[in-house]
Amino acid sequence: MDLSNKVVVIMGASSGIGAATSRLLAKDGAKLSVAARRLDRLNEIKAEFPNSEIETFKADVTKFEDVKNVIDKTVEKFGRIDVLYNNAGIMPTAPLIEGRRDEWQNMLQINIMGVLNGIAAALPYMSKAKSGQIISTDSVAGHVVGPDAAVYSGTKFAVRAIMDGLRMEQAENNIKTTIVSPGSTGTELFNSINDDDQKKFAKDFFENVGGLQPEQIAEAVEFAIGTKNNMSVSEVIIRPTRQTL
């Protein structure tokens, strides 16, 4: 796909779906700003594409000033921002009875406030230009609640609500919104699970259903970005064929 006319910011780009999307869009010729807490990982991606226009930023999505710096510097460099992809997220699942309040707080800050920080930083530019697209990684867990994943599901249901509200508020400004909801996918998300039983369950589930690879999710993001101006892919759910939930 030729995306050489697109300026794309990817938050949470250092691994998994974010890294796979960065690589795919670089091949498509997009102008990229990639951001994450691990700058070395981002620079490795940049080094793979010496002929591409890729800016790298160390940023924590829970800090609005970090996110705003990425967006502002992107506009300074490329003159505009066409797409923001909010991809950062964690999934420390555990039973509610364990009361892991620190984990809950981290999920709220990264999974929800990370998305809101991105919207707050990018939307003024897009609204003024009356053009743009905001994409957020959601989850099948944002559509179906399972035991031991109540808080994680809650954050992902919240992302769905926020993104649909954004869609309605900004439709007249021609701003597209997209949520991408993966099923079981082989990413470092499993590493954010601190409960040993839950981590084993997630990894076994991935193996049993023939889980997806990050590159497969990246293709859905690519498709949504490549649509014509009058077409917006509002939601896409991508499950392993054998995943019933």
**What domains, with CATH codes, occur in the chain?**
7-238 (3.40.50.720)
Q: Tell me the two tokens of residue 23.
A: 């690589």
Residue with the larger pLDDT of the pair 182 and 198: 182
pLDDT above 90 (res 195): no
CA distance 198 to 106: 18
Single out the residue of 80, 42, 76, 44 nearest to residue 59, CA to CA.
Answer: 42
- In the three-class reduction of DSSP (H, G, I as helix; E, B as strand; rest coil), residue 54 is classed as strand
CA distance 134 to 114: 13
pLDDT at residue 163, rounded to an integer: 98
- Percent of the chain that is helix, strand, coil (3-state, to 5): 50, 15, 30
* DSSP character at residue 212: B
- Residues belonging to the chain: 245
64-77 CB burial, b ≥16 within 10 A, e <16:
bebbbbbbeebbee
CA distance 33 to 13: 9
- In the three-class reduction of DSSP (H, G, I as helix; E, B as strand; rest coil), residue 187 is classed as coil
pLDDT above 90 (res 193): no
| 51-99 confidence digits (pLDDT tens) | 999 999 999 999 999 999 999 999 999 999 999 999 999 999 999 999 9
The predicted model scores a pTM of 0.95
125 is catalytic: no
217-230 CB burial, b ≥16 within 10 A, e <16:
bbebbbebbbeeee
Q: Which of 57, 104, 152, 190 is catalytic?
A: 152
| 146-192 confidence digits (pLDDT tens) | 999 999 999 999 999 999 999 999 999 999 999 999 999 988 878 88
CA distance 154 to 144: 10
Give strand ranges (E) for the chain: 7-11, 31-36, 54-58, 83-86, 132-137, 175-182, 235-238
pLDDT at residue 230, rounded to an integer: 95
Q: Tell me the two tokens of residue 168.
A: 């309605």
| 206-244 confidence digits (pLDDT tens) | 999 999 999 999 999 999 999 999 999 999 999 999 999
